[in-house]
Structure 1
Amino acid sequence: MLYTTSYLSPLGKITLVSQHDKLVGAWIEEQKHFGDIDIAVERSNLAIFNLTKKWLDNYFEGKKQSINQLSLAPHGSPFRQKVWDILCQIPYGEVITYGDIAKQIALQNNLHKMSSQAVGGAVGHNPISIIIPCHRVIGANGNLTGYAGGIDKKIKLLQIEGIDTSNMVFPKKGSTG
């Protein structure tokens, strides 16, 4: 059984979804790749939702939060799971590139190289926005492409974490990831 509730954030409404006692989704309103929650039952007072809302409150107040504080269970292919595991290891207030993640995946799988575009697809389909920090992934040369919630939200999240975005390259109009 899937359960859902909403959280009102400074970025807009975030839809939270749980299965049993684990968080399986957190989607910012109007983001691409929004989860299919048609079969979810509204239930706002579950322990996982209360913990997640408190985590988000603290995060938006600029307090460093640990992913380990929440029980997460994102649904996805084994490849996507590997990418999301790497995202969970990106330290608060730091960024890495799609290419960096591709190199890590290639190394884990004893491959000569891995496609940054494949990694980008997995990052873009991260079902637990903000908490699994896909916003910390940037393109080569500081390019701010690739956030399903929109580049404006990505910039705000990076700034909450104290990351200076002034030297980053903003995408051309219409390139929102």
Structure 2
Amino acid sequence: MESNQTAYYKTPIGTAKITGDINGISSVTVIDDVIETSIIIPEYLQECVQQLDDYFKGIRKQFNLKLNPQGTDFQKRVWDELLNVEYGKTRTYLEQTKKLGDVKAIRAVASANGKNPIWIIIPCHRIIGSNGDLTGYAGGIWRKKWLLEHENTSTQQLLF
């Protein structure tokens, strides 16, 4: 069995640490440490780095990658539903919970969102509070705001 490989990709809002193997991308996390983009990108991670680069350049709105996030069955259901939130759109935690079929599970859904291991590609940054607040984001609220503004530049100027 092959072990996860790692690559670092420098983004406008931090360094992305990407891990994965033949089974797909298992994590994309943002780290505050300044680490240069990896000179040699492992084969299984090259497409992910390219698609993230296209995203930050504003030329990619959808990702087409083999994903392999590790989590509980419930977390995977929540993360799969996040993939349905379109580029440039937001959804509230309550709307997200309704899509999953149990409005009483709002805290569990929010918790699963917070444990999303694949930054940007599984777009948990597109989930906001019912009052429009940018609540809870593991990468920091300023990154969530940046990502939402980045995705909305074509339709309107500053959202928040």
What is the TM-score with the length of structure 1 in the denominator?
A: 0.78
Looking at structure 2, the residues matched to 91 and 25 of structure 1 have their Cα atoms a distance apart, in angstroms, of: 20
SS of the aligned residue for 2:104 comes to: coil
User: Does the 8 Å contact 1:144/1:151 carry over to 2?
Assistant: yes
Looking at structure 2, the residues matched to 166 and 144 of structure 1 have their Cα atoms a distance apart, in angstroms, of: 14
Task: Identify the residue that residue 157 of structure 1 maps to in structure 2.
Answer: 147
Q: Match of 1:6, as an amino acid? A: Y
User: Does the 8 Å contact 1:105/1:114 carry over to 2?
Assistant: no
Q: Give the one of 72, 86, 91 matched to 2:67.
A: 72
SS of the aligned residue for 1:23 comes to: strand
User: Does the 8 Å contact 1:4/1:43 carry over to 2?
Assistant: no
Shift, 1:142, TM fit: 0.4
Deviations 1:83-104 (A, max 9, x none): 1011001110000011111111
Shift, 1:105, TM fit: 1.4
Q: Give the one of 111, 119, 143 matched to 2:109.
A: 119
Cα distance change, pair 44–127 in 1 and its aligned pair in 2 (3 A): farther
Find out whether 1:45 has 2:47 as its counterpart.
no
Shift, 1:19, TM fit: 2.8
Task: Identify the residue that residue 143 of structure 1 maps to in structure 2.
Answer: 133
Find out whether 1:102 has 2:97 as its counterpart.
yes
Task: Identify the residue that residue 37 of structure 1 maps to in structure 2.
Answer: none
Aligned-pair Cα RMSD in Å = 2.0
Looking at structure 1, the residues matched to 43 and 23 of structure 2 have their Cα atoms a distance apart, in angstroms, of: 7
SS of the aligned residue for 1:55 comes to: helix
Task: Identify the residue that residue 17 of structure 1 maps to in structure 2.
Answer: 19
What is the TM-score with the length of structure 2 in the denominator?
A: 0.86
Q: Match of 2:58, as an amino acid? A: G
Structure 2 gap ranges (5+): 33-37
Q: Match of 1:45, as an amino acid? A: I
User: Does the 8 Å contact 1:83/1:119 carry over to 2?
Assistant: yes
Looking at structure 1, the residues matched to 20 and 123 of structure 2 have their Cα atoms a distance apart, in angstroms, of: 18
Shift, 1:116, TM fit: 1.4
User: Does the 8 Å contact 2:9/2:15 carry over to 1?
Assistant: yes
Task: Identify the residue that residue 39 of structure 1 maps to in structure 2.
Answer: none
User: Does the 8 Å contact 2:90/2:128 carry over to 1?
Assistant: yes
**Identical residues among aligned pairs (%):** 35
Find out whether 1:128 has 2:118 as its counterpart.
yes
Aligned length: 151
Structure 1 gap ranges (5+): 31-41, 169-177
User: Does the 8 Å contact 1:14/1:28 carry over to 2?
Assistant: yes
Q: Match of 1:88, as an amino acid? A: L
Looking at structure 1, the residues matched to 157 and 131 of structure 2 have their Cα atoms a distance apart, in angstroms, of: 12
